[in-house]
Structure 1
Amino acid sequence: MKKKMIILFKQGAPAELEEFSVSHEINQLKEDIQVKDTLKINDHEYKITGVGNAVNKNLDSLGHITLKFDGSQEPELPGTLYLEDVKVPEIHQGDIVEIIR
């Protein structure tokens, strides 16, 4: 069964996680991410349903979190951002990923 997740790394993922990972360059967390905020990938929006207790710290300091598209409202893992239960979107080089309130 394929996991419904994407792992974000600021400087590149370990080889064993490359299939699920997206490397990014810019990391600007202006406010803490909250439930009901929206993750936007280009023109597509995904409702945030749960925020692990380490998401904001990890994203701000390391640029590393997991995006899980399963609709969970009770975060199981501290570094995971939970989103509505939809097909995992593809992210390509040059795409813009942002959180909006």
Structure 2
Amino acid sequence: MTRASWKGNFIKSNLIKKYLINKQQKKTIINKEWSRNSEIVKNFINNKLSVYNGKKFVSVLITEQMVGHKLGEFCLTKLPCAHKKKNNKNKKWAKK
């Protein structure tokens, strides 16, 4: 189920405070953020966020296309699976 529309967007209060402080200091980098379920708002465009993926912080530059999505969508927590290809040239009994 989707979130009820009457509840509005979820944004962690610390994230808003950090944004307002950095706006006064004219910085574009918001420090480390653990809240992956916070929604991206128009105010965050052209800012950099460091989002925690469970192991390290991944820097994410917010663009217009990201508005309305969650922060966690843009920093992967798991590596994509890459299977190794078999190399028959190394085997002596392989057909040539």
Q: TM-score, normalised by structure 2?
A: 0.23
**Larger RCO, structure (CA 8 Å, separation 6 or more):** 1
Largest Rg, 1 or 2 = 2
